[in-house]
Chains A and B, each alone.
Chain A
Amino acid sequence: MTEASPPSDSFTAEGGHGAVPTGPAVPTGSPTRSPRNSWPLWEVFVRGKRGLNHVHVGSLHAADGEMALGNARDVYTRRNEGVSIWVVPAGSITASSPDEKDAFFAPSGDKVYRHPTFYEIPDNVPHM
């Protein structure tokens, strides 16, 4: 075999465009927000068409709400994917924590009587 020098330690196939050099080290950065004066983060919600709810599609950075809307249009609706956009400062969102998942959703867990299938109705009763 006269195969060329083994490339395995110089690159890897990771992500969508394949072969990426590995180099001596590929740091991933510290998982902290950089303190520099950068544009704040906005979460973007798009209503796909009339009659549907707004759905979260991703985030972007912008100096203010108006710019966030413009950027959201350019990034998330280049092909008529939306008829309405909401942008929300990411810091304004309060989310449930996955750690308390079980306890947090427990109140609905044991209330099977909230579901229509809980009730038995004879087959000869129509339209129910």
Chain B
Amino acid sequence: MNETVQPETVDADRAVLDHFESTIAHDQRIEPRDWMPEKYRKTMIRQIAQHAHSEIIGMQPEGNWITRAPSLRRKAILLAKVQDEAGHGMYLYSAAETLGIDRGEMTEMLISGRQKYSSIFNYPTPSYADVGVIGWLVDGAAICNQVPLCRSSFGPYARAMVRICKEESFHQRQGYELLMTMMRGTDTQREMVQESVNRWWWPSLMMFGPPDEQSPNTEQSMAWKIKRHTNDELRQRYVDMSVPQAEALGVTFPDPELRWNAATGHYDYGQIDWDDFNRVVSGDGPCNAERIEHRRSAHEDGAWVREAAIAYADKQAARTKTAA
């Protein structure tokens, strides 16, 4: 390789970078075949792959209850909800693949722990009320995060987010309706709902990530318009939306400092205890190993199906050829 950089090359590099930056500045989308800085490409692959993995792993906590749903109606709804999450994973793998990474490779990286997924899915679902609370609070938090991402600067990701957001509304509403039904039931059912809310409230708040002052990557992501609001902004928006929903449902959040602040026009909330979350993040959560193990066995147990389908397709293609 020639080490001396020609002036024209520098100019050309500058020109493509300028073009990339002005595309973003004008709120236009970056499309897969466009030139983009290597760091942008890597960041997008990581972000989209992690999001896809989260959708896929996210099927497990609720999938846990499909066979034990209390009625055919609830079972059909839960199946549809979990199937949607699989679909979300597929939309996102498809978006990531436009950047030149292969879906099989991403699955391998998830299984081998080299790519990550959202830590919220490492919490267990010991109670049926968790199905409702996940729909209401966890999908609710996902909606807060995802609606701004419909305007992500990377076109395929933004388009996948539009599809996903349309479906998330069903997820949140079915969860809330499930909880409303339980709240109209017996004292035991109401206690189940409150107990579940107590377990999920803080992890849901932590989904928005570290406080802004400890979130060094935010600035670059905001400049690239792949993140539209800071972690704390989104978290506050979520708290403000959730409190009246809890009141209407008749449950409380486990935070004695949660109260309306007339001066700011927002709800104040207590200090988040990051120690517990850090434990879950660093792999010490109740379900980390189980989630990946389950994904791995599904992948490996399905290998013969993938091979058989290829063999069948090859045979059919050969037959068509000889017939022709």
Contacts and interface: CB of A to CB of B under 8 A. Distances in A.
A15 interface: yes
A19 B215 contact: no
Interface in A6-59: 6-8, 10-23, 26-34, 36-39, 41, 58-59
A97 B33 contact: yes
A86 to B, nearest CB: 16
A28 B54 contact: no
Interface residues of A, number: 51
A110 to B, nearest CB: 21
A18 B90 contact: no
B309 to A, nearest CB: 4
Contacts of B271: 2-4
A5 interface: yes
A92 to B, nearest CB: 15
B207 A41 contact: no
A115 to B, nearest CB: 23
Contacts of A97: 33
Interface of A: 2-8, 10-23, 26-34, 36-39, 41, 58-64, 67, 74-75, 78-79, 95, 97-99
Interface of B: 31, 33-35, 41-42, 45-51, 54-55, 58, 80, 83-84, 87, 90-91, 94-95, 97-106, 109, 114-121, 141-142, 145-146, 149, 156, 159-161, 164, 167, 206-210, 214-217, 221, 227, 231, 271-275, 277-278, 281-283, 306-307, 309-310, 312-313, 316-317
